[in-house]
């Protein structure tokens, strides 16, 4: 058992200061990208590990059977169809409508998604990448509708998790399991390959309850246009496309965004953030108080128990 006791004190050391009063600042990453040494036993190939190290993300296809993917899609439809049963704080709707955009604490709302989070095909890879036992920092179901899906602006998840949740180091990874086919045209996840190797300390202090607006439209904790243009020109842009069932692992500091979607084709995914147990959140590094539990699990931390049988 590992009960957190840092919530009421400021972290002793902050190697990634951000939300600066005067100006944004670029600094090199201080942490490894992969926290394990690769060996033949690793859950990903040597090339995949090298790609993740270089780019900050890894796309894996055909990890799940067609039956498993069908079961996940059906479960996600059931959850969205009965969103009235979801507690209000876990639910985000499209601006101006009551269409479901995000359901947080997905693993609380669904057995199969709780099971998916603990599946070896995700969690074992997370353990390898982070070199530690892992727990879920956040989980959610994302649904971007066709015709009216809105954009998400460029950001590093780590910058927010560090500033507002108190995550000390870059030792977390997200796994996005696609529940619809994603083409370059229906608002896929876009990434700047290599951007994870720099920390962009952002300008501007964090307002109280920043998450209430940042979930709809992020304005604090985003790099300037000048830096984004410079990074995208240097590294290029990539879109994480693939058919339903594809899994995108992306490092917590990789800059990403997505465009809106006027195509008729919705975009949905299940999203799990794995954090190293040794990297559990403390007091926020740059916010008056921690974000609520649906965004950042805190308190009792238990390593995920990994399952190896079939999902469906």
Which helix (DSSP H) or strand (DSSP E) does residue 238 occupy?
Answer: strand 238-239
**Six-digit token pair at 134?**
């892992």
Smallest gap from residue 10 Cβ to its own copies (A): 34
Minimum Å gap between C-beta 231 and its own copies is 8
**Shortest distance, CB of residue 65 to its own copies, whole angstroms?**
25
Going through 61-122 in order, the beta strands assigned E by DSSP cover: 91-93, 100-104
How far is residue 258's CA from residue 190's CA, in Å, rounded to a whole number?
Answer: 6
- Comparing CB distances to its own copies, the nearer of 225 and 308 is 225
- C-beta of residue 89 within 8 angstroms of C-beta of residue 294: yes
Residues in the chain: 312
Residues forming the site for its own copies (CB under 8 A): 146-147, 151-154, 183-185, 187, 190, 225, 228-229, 232-233, 237, 239, 257-265
Compute, in degrees rounded to 10, the torsion defined by CA atoms 144, 148, 153, 156.
0
Please say whether the beta carbons of 177 and 247 come within 8 A: yes
CB of 196 to its own copies, least distance (A): 18
* Distance in Å, CB of 262 to its own copies, minimum: 5
Per-residue burial over 57-75, b = 16 or more CB atoms within 10 Å of its CB, e = otherwise: bbbbeebbeeebbebbbeb
């Amino acid at each position: 058992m590992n009960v957190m006791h840092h919530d009421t004190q400021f972290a002793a050391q902050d190697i990634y200061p951000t939300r600066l009063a005067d100006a944004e600042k670029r600094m090199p990453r201080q942490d490894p990208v992969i926290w394990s040494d690769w060996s033949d036993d690793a859950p990903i190939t040597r090339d995949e590990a090298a790609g993740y190290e270089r780019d900050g993300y890894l796309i894996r296809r055909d990890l799940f059977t067609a039956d498993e993917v069908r079961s996940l899609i059906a479960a996600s439809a059931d959850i969205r169809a009965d969103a009235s049963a979801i507690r209000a704080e876990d639910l985000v709707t499209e601006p101006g409508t009551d269409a479901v955009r995000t359901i947080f604490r997905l693993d609380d709302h669904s057995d199969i998604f709780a099971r998916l989070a603990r599946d070896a095909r995700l969690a074992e890879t997370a353990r390898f990448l982070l070199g530690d036992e892992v727990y879920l920092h956040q989980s959610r179901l994302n649904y971007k509708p066709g015709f009216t899906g809105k954009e998400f602006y460029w950001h590093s998840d780590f910058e927010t998790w560090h500033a507002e949740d108190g995550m000390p180091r870059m030792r977390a990874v997200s796994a996005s399991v696609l529940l619809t086919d994603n083409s370059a045209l229906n608002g896929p996840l876009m990434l700047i390959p290599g951007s994870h190797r720099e920390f962009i300390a952002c300008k501007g202090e964090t307002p109280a309850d920043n998450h209430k607006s940042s979930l709809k439209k992020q304005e604090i904790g985003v790099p300037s246009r000048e830096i984004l243009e410079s990074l995208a020109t240097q590294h290029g842009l990539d879109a994480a496309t693939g058919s339903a069932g594809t899994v995108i692992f992306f490092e917590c500091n990789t800059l990403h965004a997505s465009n809106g979607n006027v195509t008729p084709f919705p975009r949905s995914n299940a999203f799990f953030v794995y954090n190293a147990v040794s990297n559990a959140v403390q007091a926020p590094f740059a916010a008056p108080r921690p974000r609520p539990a649906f965004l950042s699990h805190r308190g009792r931390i238990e390593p995920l128990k990994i399952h190896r049988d079939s999902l469906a």
